[in-house]
Chains A and B, each alone.
Chain A
């Protein structure tokens, strides 16, 4: 579904992404891990067109989308949620999702039709239910709790029914219990929609439990990839990343 070939990007001479080649099969659930500054978010930014890569190809179902603008990429089926929930504070949850559902309409359809459209309303309800925000549907987005805002951010990405869903640290800034709830919600919606899901995560317990495959990034390159067992035993990973991380995580 999503194939990355030798992707490169540098900022002012520093290589943030240094030749990444990865393959994400259709319907797979993968985690991207790596120490801070490994280039994980840059990797997501490149895939979603926040800025163009210097070199390399990004193939979505065979089409090279590298260099397209963010809206063009989103319309081709890559949805994204952000590390810091990126939402619409003055809209209610339902209005925000409705807006997202309708975002792809052509401008003349946008002008001519009246809100909310019946078919869009059904899809909106479905998306809100996928992230368990039914009870908060009429609340202003800005008044949601941190965790709910993260869920809404995911719901916005889901509103476009993406083929590939990128989640940048869905559990960031949450307590332990809330993290597991969050990842369970993500897991459930992946099982129901079967899109290709890629998430960045720092919590290794979550990663090892949920991800089918794990890609380890370090200094903008792929250090290792494989399933939980393989990554756990990978000498380079232990050396460069896991040891130090577990030490800090425990303390």
Chain B
């Protein structure tokens, strides 16, 4: 592992932001800007899930819970409580952390597929609460009337250009923080737990605590993804908490490759493109997506970025063959 300087990463992040900021000036195209804003929500969401799936080996199939939770709590704080955007954002993070702490404490007791399903079950609980609690959530209609987005620090989110820059900034910051976590000792502990939890315990690590922490961190960033989406659509819908959101996020991870940090972001971009293209051609998006997923699951397994990175590293590689080691 080479010592990568923080300074270089900050420069990269600033560079990426500058690039995104210039993009609409070069291509003044509304649908491109909208695409980037939607991507910001899904990139943060899918990457947060990959902290669990790819790094910690915890296959959550209910991560959409936090997407829905983030969207609804952020939107409700703006709409019903009239909070300012930064405060609502902060409180959304705190609230989702608390929820993740409680649900995580129950779910991480279980292994593998049980964990997957229990997280999924909790997500469907949130979904049914959203549907049933019409007085607050608007039921199946979602939140109506739009979100008030009071200006703060000179940022007016009612202005699409401001919204664009804001979402890009949040995406870059979130990805940067998660990148840092992945490179921190915490990130290494996660990988150790993924490979061999028993050995990790015999190295002095309280495995359940690290798993819980990972669950909470992923939950908070998942909620940020949801909050960005609710800003974009100026509402929140029960679909945000429906299980297919989790399924799509899992697929994004696999599509881009979970062994590469930006894999989920790439996967999110590909899936959004696919979605936009297919929905233009046919109303049977699920059918097409299902077939794509099957082709992928039974064929190309390492994800697109994973595949490219492997091909790249094979070129100059004097290191031994790619990891064929089993997971357990």
Residue of A nearest to B181 (CB): A111
- Indicate whether B1 reaches chain A with its CB closer than 8 angstroms: yes
- Indicate whether B198 reaches chain A with its CB closer than 8 angstroms: yes
Whether the pair A95, B1 counts as a contact (CB closer than 8 A) is: yes
The A-contacting residues of B in range 1-28, CB under 8 angstroms, are 1, 3, 6
Inter-chain contacts of A139 with B (CB < 8 A): 319-320
- Indicate whether B200 reaches chain A with its CB closer than 8 angstroms: yes
Interface segment, A52-60, A98-106, A186-194, A242-250? A98-106
- Indicate whether B92 reaches chain A with its CB closer than 8 angstroms: no
- Indicate whether B183 reaches chain A with its CB closer than 8 angstroms: yes
Inter-chain contacts of B321 with A (CB < 8 A): 143
Inter-chain contacts of B326 with A (CB < 8 A): 89, 142
**A114 CA to B1 CA, complexed, in Å:** 12
Whether the pair A111, B184 counts as a contact (CB closer than 8 A) is: yes
The B-contacting residues of A in range 122-172, CB under 8 angstroms, are 138-143, 156-157, 159-160
- Indicate whether A204 reaches chain B with its CB closer than 8 angstroms: no
- Indicate whether A96 reaches chain B with its CB closer than 8 angstroms: yes
- Indicate whether B204 reaches chain A with its CB closer than 8 angstroms: yes
**A100 CA to B205 CA, complexed, in Å:** 9
Whether the pair B184, A71 counts as a contact (CB closer than 8 A) is: no
Whether the pair A138, B319 counts as a contact (CB closer than 8 A) is: yes
Whether the pair B325, A115 counts as a contact (CB closer than 8 A) is: no
Residue of A nearest to B217 (CB): A111
Min C-beta distance of B175 to chain A, whole Å: 16
**A138 CA to B195 CA, complexed, in Å:** 17
Whether the pair A99, B204 counts as a contact (CB closer than 8 A) is: no
Interface size on B, residues (CB 8 A): 38
**A103 CA to B186 CA, complexed, in Å:** 9
Whether the pair A115, B185 counts as a contact (CB closer than 8 A) is: yes
**A185 CA to B210 CA, complexed, in Å:** 34
Q: Known contacts A71-B205, A111-B181, A156-B199; is A98 also within 8 Å of B188 by CB?
A: yes
- Indicate whether B213 reaches chain A with its CB closer than 8 angstroms: yes
Residue of B nearest to A117 (CB): B185
Could you give, for residues 155-188 of chain B, a 1 whenever the CB lies within 8 Å of some chain A CB and a 0 otherwise?
0000000000000000000000000110111111
Whether the pair B185, A109 counts as a contact (CB closer than 8 A) is: yes
- Indicate whether A90 reaches chain B with its CB closer than 8 angstroms: yes
**A88 CA to B321 CA, complexed, in Å:** 16
Min C-beta distance of A42 to chain B, whole Å: 15
Whether the pair A86, B202 counts as a contact (CB closer than 8 A) is: yes
- Indicate whether B90 reaches chain A with its CB closer than 8 angstroms: no
- Indicate whether A91 reaches chain B with its CB closer than 8 angstroms: yes
Q: Known contacts A94-B1, A139-B319, A156-B199; is A110 also within 8 Å of B204 by CB?
A: no
- Indicate whether B137 reaches chain A with its CB closer than 8 angstroms: no
- Which 4 A/B pairs are nearest by Cβ-Cβ distance? A142-B325, A89-B325, A74-B204, A110-B186
Residues of A within 8 A of B (CB): 48, 69-71, 74-75, 80, 82, 86-92, 94-96, 98-100, 102-105, 107, 109-117, 138-143, 156-157, 159-160
